[in-house]
Amino acid sequence: MGKQSGSEVFRITGARQGLAEDVRGRQRRYVISMSVRTVSVVAAAA
């Protein structure tokens, strides 16, 4: 059994991300949302 040169490679789009990538994404979204909230509170107080 050899490696076929014309074989197709399928991408699994339904696979979950790795834990490190998931945590990094959650942290990024958290920082962005907290920044927007902080700016909004400061703008409302001014």
CB distance 25 to 17 below 8 Å:
yes
Would you state the pLDDT for residue 8?
Answer: 85
- pLDDT per residue rounded down to tens, the chain (46 residues): 555 566 887 777 777 778 999 999 999 999 999 999 999 999 999 8
Tell me if the pTM is above 0.85. Answer: no
State the Cα–Cα distance between residues 25 and 43, nearest whole angstrom.
27
Place of tokens 């696979």: 15
